[in-house]
Amino acid sequence: MAHPSIAQMTLDEKLLLLGGQDNWHFYGVERLGIPAIRTCDGPHGVRVHTDRPDGSCDPATNFPCASALAASFNPDLLKEVGETIAKECRHYGVQVLLGPGVNGKRSPLAGRNFEYYSEDPYLSGTLAASFIQGLQKHKVGTSIKHFIANEQETSRLFISSNVDERTLHEIYLTPFEIAIKHANPWTVMASYNRINGVYGCENTHTLMDLLKTKLGYDGLVVSDWGAVNDKVDSVKYGLDIQMPGHVELDLRLKAAVERGEIPMAVIDDHVERILRLGERVYKQSERYLTLDLEAHHTFARKTAAETLVLLKNDGILPLKKNTKIAVIGRFADDQVRYNGGGSSWLNAYRVERPLDALKTKAKVIYAPGYDQEKVTKALTLEAIAAAQQAKTVLFFTGTTSSMESEGFDRANIDLPQSHRKLLAQVAKVNPNIVVILNNGAAVDLRDTQPMARAILEAWLLGSAAGQPIADVLFGDINPSGKLAETFPLRLEHTPAYGNFPGQTDHVDYTEGLLVGYRHYDTRKLEVMYPFGHGLSYTTFKFGPLSVSTTELNAQDSLTVSLSVTNTGKRSGSEVVQLYVQDPVSSVLRPEKELRAFKKVFLEPQETQTVTLTLNARDFSVYVPHLGRYAVESGAFNLLIGASSRDIRRQVSVNVHSSDKVRPHLTLDYPYTQWIRYPQEKVQIEALVKATRPPFWWETEPPLNRWLLILKREFNWSDADEARIKAQLLEEA
């Protein structure tokens, strides 16, 4: 049933709703008491623009970047982050937060990778759903972005992402699908780029066929800011609102409606979705009058602590308190790297410096080391002197503010050469080095890893970064983060190398399904640190696997259970990761795929049972000729690990299905393909027989057929043939 306000609207009012009132507001209809809706940037916190002359923003809590949040492997934490940001939105009168981002990670060079959760679509979608649930619980809408296949900044306004249908579904649509199924974000942001040649904001296949029809999405689709190529086509093919404003009445659009090119039912559907959003965000819409930013900062500190990943540790960590340490690098002091550039920037309420926190735990000798990427002789000598006086060196490095941002892709995945040279100089005088990384995406650590006794991945950790880093280094907190993206040995090993960011006006996703660990594990490539990797100050033992059944039909669910024991002397958390492997398939399958995970906290010597559930989708592939997901019968291996390369337990199950996953064979396929499959073999032989005269051996009786073969083989005469035939008949 249509919203009652639609019948009361004029055509001009309806069409005006399909654009932005200004940079940050959707139109309302004042005459009918329908208010405007305020939006704000903020995947990592809310950026609240003010009307002050200096254009400043109101203070807000800056949480860790999305790639850091993903390292927590903790959906409950993401939900709480969403709730906290929602409270700040409600205080500042914001109805829709423009986030989260769930695009894929074809290459670590992509400039906005820090804004996206993971290279794994299941992990991305699961975390995004929890984040959205937290925000929308407080009646603040989200805008999950950027729909779809928007994996680069280079030429982002017009590049065509050319991707096959199976890859589009399994890798790039999956995070959106999971989020819509489990959280129903109230808006979806359509992307700048073209998808297979058609702009994302006027793409009937992605917006109508996939999003609104196949996924049954009932929310509102808004354009990325400035992404609309043709207003009439965008309205015709699925976009609901064009942003930003001031978007005035489009006479060409009005004429298209009046002459019937765009049916009124299409316009009313757009308006219905806009009004539905209004009802969702304005229900219980009073502002939250109080705002405790200090309490939120404390929670951001707790969040940051759970995202830190200990990549390497030969036993040097945790450090002993009150020891003498050298802290080298301005990232620890006045150039704290806590967020990336672009739309994720916000006015952080308070920024902690790691140096200040470290001074409360140890005797610190500080040396700036560098100014962004600039290292002078004087800075080098100062750093060397500090290292000589200390027992341990804490070396802060990472990407600089000009290396990771919206608007451009990275030139390489190296740490600054100047930082690496400085580290080499320091290592000559003190081998006890702990490297702390501040970056939003994978980096090349070939030069760094040999010089470090320990490496702590501290990401772009948000404005409450200082205390968590110090707490983990000194053992007050046991690190529990796990990599949500692979750290390769080198850029040349990455899935899209040589095909990123494409040529001229297009980029072909030729790596297909093999992105991230799917690529490295399937192709047996060595990596620096695998997906899911992260060390702890304690140890964990995985018990035997048990499954609810080893024989199941495709539509059945399956539970997998095992015990996990903390065998060390410290409390800590482990992430149990369940991968599914299809060892024999008629279509390409990655070596393994993450299908479930659970983070469990354990006291020393404590044991808990972890139970994970799988269903048909976890065994399936998208089958283009069927237009849906399907399961191919066969044996599947269920792999339990602490990373994609650290598999601890395995069990096999048989899944029975009537689905025909492999493509239908045609006469274009060689006969060797046909004879592999009995059903098609019968069909092709019947077809061949029907389209040619019969051969002699098909028409002769069996005895005559064999005698003819022998006659030709041994050059018998007609008399020989008659004699042997008579003998055979007599014996018979």
Nearest Cα neighbor of 617 from 639, 586, 595 is 595
Whether the upstream peptide bond of residue 533 has omega within 30° of 0, thus cis, is no
C-beta of residue 107 within 8 angstroms of C-beta of residue 496: yes
C-beta of residue 151 within 8 angstroms of C-beta of residue 136: no
CA atoms 664, 666, 669, 673: torsion sign: positive
Give the list of residues 6+ apart from residue 710 with CB closer than 8 angstroms, or none. Answer: 716, 724
Instruction: Indicate the DSSP class of residue 250.
Output: -
Residue 189, both tokens: 């942001």
CA distances from 392 to 434, 436, 445, 471 (A): 8, 13, 20, 16
Q: Burial, 369: exposed, middle or buried (Cβ in 10 Å; 0-12, 13-18, 19+)?
A: buried
C-beta of residue 507 within 8 angstroms of C-beta of residue 525: no
Can 447 be counted among the known catalytic residues? Answer: no
Q: What is the DSSP string of 625-663?
A: TTTEEE---EEEEEEEEEETTEEEEEEEEEEE-----SP
Q: What is the DSSP string of 326-382?
A: EEE-GGGTTT-----BSTT---BS----HHHHHHTTSEEEEE---BTTB--HHHHHH
Between β-strands 194-195 and 220-223, what pairing exists: parallel, antiparallel or unpaired? unpaired
Q: What is the largest CA-CA distance in the chain?
A: 116
Query: Quick one: CA torsion of 382, 384, 390, 395, rounded to 10 degrees?
Result: 90
Q: Pick the catalytic residue: 41, 58, 120, 224? A: 224
Cα of 32 vs its chain's centroid, Å: 41
Give the chain's radius of gyration (CA, Å). Answer: 31
Between β-strands 160-162 and 194-195, what pairing exists: parallel, antiparallel or unpaired? parallel
- DSSP-derived 3-state class of residue 556: coil
Number of neighbouring beta carbons within 10 Å of residue 317: 21
Which amino acid is it at 212?
Answer: K
Nearest Cα neighbor of 575 from 596, 556, 600 is 600
d(CA 139, CA 149): 29
Q: What angle do CA 210, 211, 212 make, to 5 degrees?
A: 105
d(CA 430, CA 392): 7
CA atoms 492, 494, 497, 502: torsion sign: negative
- DSSP-derived 3-state class of residue 295: helix
Nearest Cα neighbor of 95 from 11, 21, 163, 32 is 21
d(CA 227, CA 102): 18
Active site residues: 224
